[in-house]
Chain A
Amino acid sequence: MRLTRFLLRRTAQGILVVWGVITLVFLLRFITPGSTIDFVAPLDASPELRQRLAEDLGLNKPIYVQYADYIVNLLQLDMGNSLLKGRPASDVIFARLPATLELAIAATIVAILFSIPLGVISATRRHQPVDYGATGFSLIGISTPNFWLGIMLILIVGVNLGWLPTSRRIIGFGPALELLVFEGRTIGIQVWFEHILLPSITLGTYFTALITRLTRNGMLEELGQSYVEVTRAKGLPETLVKYKHVLRNTMIPIITVLGLQMGTLIGGAVITESVFNWPGLGTLIIDAINSRDWPLIQGSLIVIGVGFVVINIVVDALYMYFNPQVTFE
C-alpha cells in the first residue's frame, strides 16, 4: 500500500536524520571551550583523581572510540549517568517527558480547536467585523513572544484575579486519570486542568494565530478555484461545499507549514516550561546546560530530535492522506 511503503521509507530517512542529530550532539562536547573533566572533578582534585575520573568516564580515549562507545550505549538506551543527579540520564529524561508531552498536546488541541473554526468563519465572512477581529488577533498572536504572554497571563489571571495557579505541575494526567477511574474522584483532573490551562494557552496562542491566518488565506484562495463553482452548480449544500471540499483542500498547505513549525512548538515548550516552572524537558535542559551535565544535555537533545522526526513523519502521513497527488517518490 502507498501509505505503508511511504512510512517505511520515511522511517529509514528519519533514522538517518536521528543519526546526524546524535553525531552533532556528540561533537557539541568537543567544540565547547573548557575540558569536561573540569566540570566533573572537585576544584581541589589531585591530578591522580582527575586522571581516574577521566578514565572512568572514558574521556581520555580517542574521539572515534568515544563516539563508537556512545552509539553502542545509545542503542541499549544507555545515555550515561547524569553527572548532577548520579542517576541514569535516561531515567531523568523519561521522568520529565510526560510533562512536556502533556503540555505540547494540550497546546496543539487548544490551537486546533480555536484556529480552524476561526479561520473558516473569517474567510466566509470576509470584510465583516468578525473577520477583522480574527485577522487582528492572528497578527498580534504571531507577534507576541510567548514567554511574555505567559507572564501577562500570570499577572492578570493569577496575580490580579487569583483565578488559577501560576506555576508547577502538581499531578500528571496519568495519575489524575487513575484517581478518576479507580476512585471516582475528580479532584485530580481538576487540579491537573487548573495547572495546565495557562501554560497551554501560552504555548498554543502562537499556533492558534498562525493556523487561523493560514486557514483564512487558504480558504479564500481555495474558494476562488473553479471546482468550487462546479460543486455548487451540481446542487451540493453550501456547508458541504465549504467543509468537505474547500476546507479539506485548505488543510494541505496548513499541514505543510505545521510540519515546518514543529521545531517552534518544541522550542516554545522549553520557554513556557521555564515561565511556569513546569517540570518538563525544557527546564531540565536549561538546568543541564547551566551545570554542564553532558549526558543529560546530549540525552535531552537526542530525545527532542527523535520527537521532532516522529512528529514530522506523522505530519507527512497526514499530508499524504489529504493530498492524493503526492507520491513521495
Chain B
Amino acid sequence: MNWQRVWRSLRAEFGRSPMAKLGVVLILAVFLMAIFAPFLATTNPKAQDLSRANEPPVGFTDTTEDTRLVDGERQTVTVTTRGTLEYPLGTNQLGQDMYSRLLYGARTSLLVGLLGTAIAALAGVSVGIVAGYYGGRVDDGLMRFADVMLAFPALVLAIALIGLLGPQPVDIPDPFVAAGLVSDMPETTVLPVTVTLVVALVNWVWFARVARGEALSVREKNYVKASRSLGASDWRLMLKHVLPNSLTPILVLATVQVAVIILLESALSFLGFSGTTLSWGFDISQGRDLLATSWWISTMPGLAIVVTVIGINLVGDWLRDALDPDIEGESGGGMG
C-alpha cells in the first residue's frame, strides 16, 4: 500500500469536488458540536421548565386556544407564544431546550456510530481475513454463518436483542464538567452499550465480506506465496500483507457504515429501545404526538440526522471516487 499515492489522490479529488468539501465541512461541524456541547449549549438539556413547554423556535409564533376559568366562567382564550432567543429551536413538552438537546444528541449519535463501526470493523475484518486467508472449510463455515446473519434484517435483529437484553446504559463522565470548566450541564454522557454492541453485531458481516475478498486475492499474490514458502508464520503474513492491502476498501466501507449505524441508532431510539433520552431519534418520537401543535419537536432533530448523514455520505463518495475500491453492495447495510 502506497500511502503517499493514497494521500495524493485524496487531495486531488478533494480539490476537484465541491461536494467533498461540503461533506468535510458538515462533518467537522457535527464533530465540534458533539465535542464542545457543554460550552455551546445554553441550557442544561435535561432541565425541565413546564411553564415554558412547547415554545416555538425563534422567529415563529404559535397560536393555541385554551379554555380557562375567568371569574368563575369558562372562556376560550387565544394564547400566542412567540419564539425567543433563549430557546432558539423551541422547547418540547417538558420545556427542555431543543437546541441544547440537539447538541447532546450529536454526542450519542457519533459515539454509537464510531464505536459501533469500530467494533464491527474489528470483528468483521478479523473473521474475513481468517476466512479468506485459510479458505477451505474455515471459509465455508464462517461465510455460511455470515449468510445466516444476513438473513436477519438488521433492524429486526437489533430490536429483538435490545428488547430482550435491555439497553444496559453506561455513564461516561463528561471531562469538561469534571474539570470544572462548565457547570449546570449533565455530568455524564450515556453510552447505550447494548445498542452499540448490537449495531456492531448486525453490521460486522459487511466488513467480513470485504476483508475476505481482499484476503483471497492477496493470498494468491506471488510475494505472499514466496514468504509462506520461506516459512513466515500465518499471523505474520496476515498482519504484514493482507491487512494493509485491505485497508482502502475497509476505510471506505467504514465511512458508509458510520452513516448506516447512526441511522440505525436513531431508529432504535425512535422505537424507545436505546436507553438514553438524549438522542435525536428519541426526540423525534417525543414530538410525534404533538405534530398538530408543535411541529418543531420532531422536525429539528430529524434535520440534524439528515445533515449529519449527508455529510458522511459525501465524505464516503469522496473516498470512493478517490480510492476507487471495488465494494460489493454499495452502501452496506442500508438504514434499516
Contacts and interface: CB of A to CB of B under 8 A. Distances in A.
B244 interface: no
A70 to B, nearest CB: 17
B124 to A, nearest CB: 15
A143 B291 contact: no
Nearest to B150: A263
A20 B146 CA distance: 11
A82 to B, nearest CB: 16
A264 B153 contact: yes
Looking at chain A's contact residues, the main secondary structure is: helix
B71 interface: no
B144 to A, nearest CB: 7
Contacts of A327: none
Interface stretch (A90-98, A149-157, A233-241): A149-157
Interface in B208-258: none
B152 A263 contact: yes
A254 to B, nearest CB: 9
**Residue among A24, A31, A155, A263 having the largest count of chain B Cβ atoms under 10 Å:** A263
A241 to B, nearest CB: 26
Interface residues of B, number: 48
Contact of B306 (A140, A155, A305): A140
B292 A159 contact: yes
A219 B251 CA distance: 26
A252 to B, nearest CB: 12
Given A143-B309, A206-B334, A266 B148 contact: no
A82 B160 CA distance: 17
Interface stretch (B53-61, B88-96, B99-107, B265-273): B265-273
Interface in A163-221: 206, 210, 213-214
Interface stretch (B4-12, B114-122, B297-305): B297-305
Contacts of B284: 147-148, 151
Contacts of B267: 145, 147, 267, 271
B160 A289 contact: yes
Given A139-B314, A143-B309, A304-B153, A264 B148 contact: no
A146 B335 contact: yes
Contact of B155 (A20, A206, A271, A309): A271
A119 to B, nearest CB: 13
B279 interface: no
Interface string A253-270: 000110011111111111
B164 A32 contact: yes
A11 B328 CA distance: 23
B313 interface: yes
Nearest to A265: B336
A142 B313 contact: yes
A275 B292 CA distance: 15
Interface in A309-328: 309, 312
Nearest to A289: B163
Nearest to A282: B156
Given A146-B335, A260-B329, A261-B334, A270 B151 contact: no
B160 A274 contact: no
Contacts of A308: 151-153
Given A17-B147, A151-B288, A210 B331 contact: yes
A7 interface: no
B305 A155 contact: no
27 contacts: A16-B144, A17-B148, A20-B144, A24-B152, A28-B164, A31-B165, A32-B164, A33-B166, A144-B305, A144-B306, A145-B281, A145-B306, A145-B309, A256-B329, A260-B329, A263-B153, A263-B333, A263-B336, A264-B153, A264-B335, A266-B336, A268-B334, A269-B336, A270-B156, A285-B156, A289-B160, A301-B160
Given A155-B298, A308-B152, 15 more contacts: A16-B144, A17-B144, A20-B147, A21-B152, A142-B313, A145-B335, A151-B288, A261-B334, A264-B335, A267-B154, A270-B336, A271-B267, A271-B336, A275-B288, A312-B151
